[in-house]
């Protein structure tokens, strides 16, 4: 496993529409391991592949419920409700903002072993899924936030 370098806002890779993952193999699994290690190291709850310089459709998420989710080629197939809450991003250190998101989402994705699965998410997980999937389309939360503020730590 290896720590990956996190790309910060301003890096062109963060503005790209990412390519679908075509090959699910040991190299991809090792990359997912590195992504998870990097996310945990920097206390993130999610990390998208372009944030570590690879414009492919893969994200890792752990909202602290003891479950590491790896979503390959994820697609949101249903959304329900809306809610506004605070977000931050490892690519935009020190900045937080209120973002409106769907309250609940259904997401289809491929696992690290190539199985297609469906996940129902609400609360923080739903927010995180939407935030990370936005990264795959070159969208940062600062592009869609209603308001932004600078903080040294999230309160």
In the three-class reduction of DSSP (H, G, I as helix; E, B as strand; rest coil), residue 140 is classed as coil
| Site stretch for Co ion (CB under 5 A), options 12-20, 31-39, 86-94, 107-115 | 86-94
Q: Minimal distance in Å, beta carbon 89 to Co ion? A: 3
Q: Which two tokens stand for residue 62?
A: 């752990």
Q: Which residue has the tokens 């370098």?
A: 5
Q: Tell me which of 87, 100, 132, 151 is the catalytic residue.
A: 132
Contacting residue, 45, 49, 60, 89, with Co ion by CB under 5 A: 89
Residues with Cβ within 8 Å of 152's Cβ and at least 6 positions away in sequence, in order, are 94
In the region spanning residues 94 to 153, those forming contacts with Co ion, defined by CB under 5 A, are none
Q: Minimal distance in Å, beta carbon 114 to Co ion? A: 26
Residue placing its CB nearer to Co ion in the complex, 49 or 89: 89
Q: Which two tokens stand for residue 46?
A: 């999610």
97 φ, ψ (degrees, to nearest 5): -160, 155
Q: Minimal distance in Å, beta carbon 143 to Co ion? A: 11
Residues with Cβ within 8 Å of 150's Cβ and at least 6 positions away in sequence, in order, are 94, 95, 96
Q: Write out the residues near Co ion by the rule CB under 5 A.
A: 89
């Amino acid at each position: 496993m290896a720590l990956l370098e996190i790309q910060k806002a301003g890096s062109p890779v963060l503005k790209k529409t990412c390519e679908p993952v075509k090959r699910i193999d040991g190299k991809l699994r090792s990359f997912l391991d590195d992504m998870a290690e990097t996310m945990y190291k920097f206390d993130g709850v999610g990390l998208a592949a372009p944030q570590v310089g690879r414009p492919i459709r893969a994200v890792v998420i752990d909202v602290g419920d003891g479950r590491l989710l790896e979503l390959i080629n994820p697609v949101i197939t249903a959304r329900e409700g809306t809610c506004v809450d605070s977000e931050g991003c490892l690519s935009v250190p020190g900045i937080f903002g209120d973002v409106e998101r769907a309250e609940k989402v259904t997401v289809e994705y491929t696992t690290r072993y190539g199985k297609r699965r469906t996940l129902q998410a609400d609360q923080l997980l739903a927010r995180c899924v939407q935030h990370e999937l936005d990264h795959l389309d070159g969208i940062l939360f600062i592009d869609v936030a209603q308001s932004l503020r600078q903080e040294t730590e999230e309160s």
